[in-house]
Structure 1
Amino acid sequence: MLNHIRHLLIGSPLSSAHAGETRLDKVRALASLSPDALASVAYANQEIYLGLLVAGAAGLLRATELALVITGLLAVLALSYMQTIAAYPSGGGSYTVARDNLGELPGLVAAAALLLDYVLNAAVSLTAGVAAIASAFPALWPYRIALSLLLLLFITLINLRGIREAGTAMIVPVYLFLVIYLGLIAYGIGVALIQGPGVFPAVIPQPAELTTGVGLAPVTLFLLLRTFASGATALTGVEAISNAVPIFKPVESDNARRTMAAMAVLMGILFLGTIGLTQYLAVVAGAEETILSALARRLFGSGPVYYLVQAATLLVLIVAANTSFTDFPRVVSLLARDAFLPRQLRAVGDRLVFSNGIVLLAALAGLLIVIFQGDTHLLIPLFAVGAFLAFTLSQSGMVVHWWRERGRRWRAKAAMNGLGALATGVALLVIGAGKFTAGAWIVILLIPLIVWLFRSIRAHYAEVGRQLRLHEAAPPVGCHVPARIVMPVAGVHRGVIAALDYACSIADDVTAIFVELEPGTAEPLRARWTAAGLDRVARLVTVPSPYRSLLGPFLDELDRMDDAGDGPPVSVLIPEFVPAKWWHFLLHNQTALPLKWALIYRRHRHGRSRVVIDVPFYLDR
């Protein structure tokens, strides 16, 4: 039944031979890898508006200047990552580039920063999407957490179905968003030319989270830098295409570079266009409304077109999380390949995607949504630090790469990546300082902890390998001493008979142990044991349990038997009946499972291995 449900939700398994068919063309790749960057205009514009709003109209008049600076940084990043794509056609993510060129530690720092960025992107995109639709329907504000988690489940299932299916599902929301917002910008320019510039009101209503009761703040350099730190979240997701070059159709690097260029141009138009119109038309938002909602309402009123804009914003923000679901599993698979994360994360699932990585991302993003109460404004300060740290390490690594390669035009290429490293490094310092007390300190603390976790996992795998490795010739294998079998019993039934039959086939010394949980139950069991003739094949030992515990008395009796005998440790054979239907398990006392755990994870005090054998007895339907 569980298999049927899984196949219904995510589809039937795909053969490895179909791996090439799951690659994406430029149209699907743009839809799959760019929604994070394109949709960032929703929350980046909002953060710039909130950051400048504390200074009133004087602050809001500086919005376009900040947008120009951020767009210039976007251009530098796009050109730099286009070079990264050419140099690393197998996928030049920040982890790969930094590890290859700067060393293991910088690579792990980049990986930690990138993983945090992807988790935060998924949480921010979904909560921002819910905020967009709640702006149109204020009654939904109290249900932001539940709605965000529901959307997270939806996007997770789509990605578990496969890369191609996810890319196809993204086409309609992404291109609908582009058509509507490019149309909004064109229409807004027409309105601006006809009506002329607007004038901000003398008193602008402020959202509750910005109300300080101390009046307007002055427009200072610190205010502008702090607002830049918030608005720079627009650049998160720019590196996504360079991480996922292998999912493109051939020629992979050429298609990836063209897609990167298209994404950068579209993103620049959307970002500058919406912020420029907001400032020129003097648009202000209500207490429970986003600035993009206010811009759409200013241009189209509260009619059907306004609701279409909000729906498009919601859809693209939902699918913006898809960038994380595409790249996060790939990064963790590379880390797992290098033994810095559990090896299960490198496994490809039934639908030729890294299913374990997708599920891990969904769990972490859901945890963030719950902890931060579905509030985008609380999540944003954590957002850009990881992204810009990864940007800086990746671009610095590319400078070293060109220095080592010294190929054609290497100086110009190194200069471009050097400019990218310098620009993102300065932005990182501004973001870290400007948002430190607002929550960036959490990310700055988490990154070293994650790097420590990576190294601890690597050390564990190295130690396991050391203990399992055969340094010399394999030791002799043979049955030197006959086995001794002990089996726990709770009664006399067909399951016990089948287990005894198997025990006697592999050992001459078989003992059954009955733990007397209720006083007076041992003697009746012994009588049934003898009446069934089982005393001729196995001794029955009864152990009292004054505290009604099964595990403690049973394990103590095993230790006593080990100490009393000269042979190998006692092997434990556990009879277990298996019900016909899955829900029948709920009707039975599942003592076999904790008993197996206790036996496997409780080290033998003499340092020897204890064998645990499970003998299932299947009940008929």
Structure 2
Amino acid sequence: MLSTFKRFLIGRPLKSTDLGDQKLNKRKALAILSSDALSSVAYGTEQILLVLVTVSTAAFWYSLPIAIGVLFLLAALILSYRQIIFSYPNGGGAYVVSRENLGENAGLIAGGSLLVDYILTVAVSVSAGTDAITSAFPILHEHTVLIAVIFVLMITILNLRGLTESASILAYPVYLFVIALTLLILVGLYNIITGETPPAVNAEIGTPVHGITLFILLRAFASGCSALTGVEAISNAIPNFKDPGPNNAAKTLMLMGALLAVLFTGITYLAYSYGISPSETETVVSQIAAQTFGRNFMYYFIQATTALILVLAANTGFSAFPLLACNLAKDKYFSRIFMIRGDRLGYSNGILTLGFASILLIIIFRAHTEHLIPLYAVGVFIPFTLSQTGMILKWFREKPKGWLPKLITNLIGAIITFIVLLILIITKFEQIWSVFIFVPAMVYIFHRIKNHYMDVGEQLRLKQDHEAIKIEGNVFVVPVAGITKVVENSINYATSLSDQVIAVYVSFDREEEKAFEEKWEKWQPEVRLVTLHSHYRSLITPLTKFIDTIEHKAREANYQVTVLIPQFITKKSWHNLLHNQSSLLIRAYLLYKRNVAVATIPFRFKK
């Protein structure tokens, strides 16, 4: 039944040879890897206005020069990540660049920041998508968290079905969103040119604003930089592209940058021209659409596509997180379970981990986008800065042909991203301080994980001077609870392998103990029985003490002790609830005993 349900949810298993068919062309890659960056248009402008409105609505004209600054940074990042794509064609992005050029800890900081960022990508995107829905249907406001959680579950299942299938589904809402916002911007500009918008709704550009400070402007700029989240995803996912991977990834990156620049600039200009103010109950895009078209079909079309891309932008995290987790696992910094491909050839453990973590964040922050975005932005700009700095050192060290323009490009990118990171830290420290605890903690965990794998490797490695200890024989210890077919099955198996078989019975009552010894003597006189009396009705304590004694004596004679546990298997799983499962308890405890082998002999019931 569970297997049938699993097949229904994620589809039939794919052969390993089908992996090539899971690669993405540019059209699908733009949909699946750019949805996060493109969707940030829906809240990037709003984040700028939320800061400026603390001064007054007269300060809204500053959103235009701030947007130009964001575009300049976008251009620097696009050119920088294009160089990373060709320099590191196997993917890995900021993690690989930082590790190879700045050292192990820098790479782990970048990797840890990106893992957090991808979790926040899902939480922020879904929360923002939910905001778009509740803006159109205010009655749903009180169910925001539930709606967001349901969306995460849906996207998780979609990604478990495979990369190409999720990309095929994603392509439609992404391109519909681009078309919808392009129409909104064009019609909005037409309205402005023809004078159909209310005149002088905002202060003119250059108007002095009382109370505006450099600190507020920098804070607004840092908030607007949230529109740049997701730019790095393509450089992390080069292995997902069809050949030639680097060329296709670079073209997809440039196209994404162009679309992002046009949409972000257009929405910011319309918001200024229309005199839009941020609202708790309605998004900026919703207000622009309502003023442009009225609350008709086009309005709901724009809201629907915006909600869709915001929700599905989470897919960027689902595409990049499993790949980054896999890269960390290959380098022994993360659990090896993240290297395992699932039935549909995706890294399903990474997908499930990301889904669970993002749902947890949504519940903790009550799906409030404005509380998540500062964490989101700083999680992006730490690896941004590290990767640009790493590329600078790479060009200095290697000095390939034409290296100077490349170095200048990365130098500009590094300076700007570092400045933005400082602005974020200074202006939003009360909202992002947890990053300075969480990221170092992750780096520490990464080191502990690698130390564990190194210790395991050292203990498993066969050395040239290694001499294996020869086992002279085997002593079987069989815990018994009575004289039954289950016990008989186990005793027969043990005696077929060794003549050193000891049956152990733990009693809680002296009379029962004596009666059992008499029955055993008549039933299995050739097999030694040891009875242990438990004064405190404990099964494990007397049994393990006895096994310790046997193991100590056996080790001196180079004998192996094997505890053979009889266990019956019920026909139906719910029948297990009707039995005490003492065999499972014994096995779980003994697995951690040194030099003791544990084996289970099953006896299956037919009814």
Would you say same fold, with TM above 0.5? yes
In structure 2, which of residues 300, 303, 314 is the aligned counterpart of residue 321 of structure 1?
Answer: 314
SS in 1 for 2:467: coil
**Distance apart, 1:479 and its partner CA:** 3.3
AA aligned to 1:406 is K
Contact residue 22 and residue 162 of structure 1 kept, 8 A: yes
- Given residue 586 of structure 1, which amino acid in structure 2 is its aligned partner? L
Contact 1:85 1:92 in 2 (8 A): no
Which of 564, 568, 576 matches 1:577?
568
Where do 5+ consecutive residues of structure 2 fail to align?
A: 204-208
Mapping of residues 91-170 of structure 1, within 5 Å: 91-170=91-170
SS at match of 1:611: strand
Q: Which of 459, 464, 470 in structure 2 is aligned with 1:467?
A: 459
1:550 matched to which residue of 2? 539
Whichever residue aligns with residue 449 of structure 1, its letter is A
Matches within 5 A, 1:21-100: 21-100=21-100
Alignment correspondent of 2:597: 611
Task: Tell whether the 8 Å contact from 1:283 to 1:298 is kept in structure 2 after alignment.
Answer: no
Secondary structure of 1:536's counterpart equals: coil
CA distance in 1, matches of 2:198, 2:247: 43
Deviation at 1:518? Answer: 7.0
Give 1:510 deviation, angstroms: 2.0
Contact kept? 2:219, 2:424, Cα under 8 Å: yes
Inter-CA distance 98–555: structure 2 relative to 1 (3 Å threshold): same
Letter of the structure 1 residue corresponding to residue 102 of structure 2: L
Q: Which residue of 1 aligns with 2:360?
A: 367
Secondary structure of the residue aligned to 1:109 is helix
Aligned CA distance change for structure 1 residues 515 and 149 (closer, same or farther; 3 Å): farther
- Matched with 2:429 is 436
The whole-number CA distance in structure 2 between the counterparts of 1:307 and 1:522 is 79
Instruction: Tell me if structure 2 keeps the 8 A contact 1:123–1:365.
Output: yes
The aligned runs of 1:75-474 (5 Å cut-off) are 75-194=75-194, 195-196=196-197, 198-200=199-201, 218-438=211-431, 440-474=432-466
Q: Where in structure 1 are there 5+ consecutive unaligned residues?
A: 203-215
Q: Please tell me the residue identity of whatever aligns with 1:91.
A: G
CA contact under 8 A between 1:543 and 1:554: conserved in structure 2? no
How far the C-alpha of 1:43 sits from its partner, in A, is: 2.6
**Contact 2:101/2:391 (8 A) holds in 1:** yes
Distance 1:222 1:508, change over 3 A: same
1:285 deviation in Å? 4.4
CA distance in structure 1 between the aligned counterparts of 2:512 and 2:150, rounded to whole angstroms: 52
Distance 1:512 1:81, change over 3 A: same
Alpha-carbon offset, residue 105 of structure 1:
1.8
* Residue identity opposite 1:338 in structure 2: D
Q: Are residues 217 and 385 of structure 1, via their aligned partners in 2, closer, same or farther at CA, if it must alter by over 3 Å?
A: farther
Aligned to 1:13: 13
Give the letter for the 1:618 counterpart.
R
CA contact (8 A) 1:284 1:291 kept: yes
Structure 2 counterpart of 1:511: 502
Whether the 8 Å contact between 2:25 and 2:242 is mirrored in structure 1 is yes
Deviations 1:175-231 (A, max 9, x none): 1111111111111111222224555599xxxxxxxxxxxxx9922211121122222
Please give the alpha-carbon distance, in whole angstroms, between the structure 2 residues aligned to 1:515 and 1:225. Answer: 74
Instruction: Answer yes or no: is the 8 Å Cα contact 1:45–1:275 preserved in 2.
Output: yes
Q: State TM-score, norm by structure 2.
A: 0.94
Partner of residue 210, structure 1 = none
1:526 Cα deviation (Å)?
Answer: 4.3
Q: How far apart are 1:581 and its partner, in Å?
A: 3.1
Query: Residue by residue, what CA displacement relative to the aligned partner does 1:470-501 show, whole Å, maximum 9, x if unpaired?
Result: 22244245431x32222222233222211111
Aligned 8 A contact 2:123 2:314 in 1: yes
Task: Provide the C-alpha distance between the structure 1 equivalents of 2:465 and 2:333, rounded to a whole number of angstroms.
Answer: 30
Partners of 2:92 and 2:324 within 8 A in 1: no
CA separation in 1, counterparts of 2:6 and 2:518?
49
Q: Could you say if the C-alpha distance between residues 513 and 145 of structure 1 is closer, same or farther in structure 2, counting changes exceeding 3 Å? A: farther
TM-score, scaled to structure 1: 0.92
**1:484 & 1:554 partners in 2: Cα distance?**
15
Deviation at 1:27, TM superposition (A): 0.6
Q: How far apart, CA to CA, are the structure 2 residues paired with 1:64 and 1:550?
A: 75
Q: Is the 8 A contact 2:532 2:542 kept in 1?
A: no
> How many residue pairs end up in the alignment?
599
Aligned counterpart, 1:209:
none
Aligned-residue offset at 1:331? 0.9
Which secondary structure does the structure 1 equivalent of 2:81 belong to? helix
Structure 1 residues 225 and 524: CA distance shift in structure 2, 3 A: farther
> What is the rounded CA distance, in whole Å, between the counterparts of 1:174 and 1:161 in structure 2?
19
Contact 2:505–2:529 under 8 Å retained in 1 = no
Q: Secondary structure at the match of 1:614?
A: strand
Report deviation, 1:443: 0.9
Which of 563, 582, 587 is residue 578 of structure 2 equivalent to?
A: 587
> Secondary structure, in 3 states, of the residue corresponding to 2:13?
coil
1:534 aligns with 2:524: yes
Task: Output the CA distance in 1 between the equivalents of 2:189 and 2:249.
Answer: 32
Residues 26-85 of structure 1 show CA distances to partners (whole Å, capped at 9, x for unaligned) of: 110000100000001223233222222212212323222211211111111111111211
Q: Does 1:479 align with 2:468?
A: no
Moved more, 444-453 or 83-92: 83-92
Asked if the contact 1:199/1:281 (under 8 Å) is kept, the reply is no
- Over 3 Å counting, the alpha-carbon distance change for 1:201 and 1:405 in structure 2 is closer
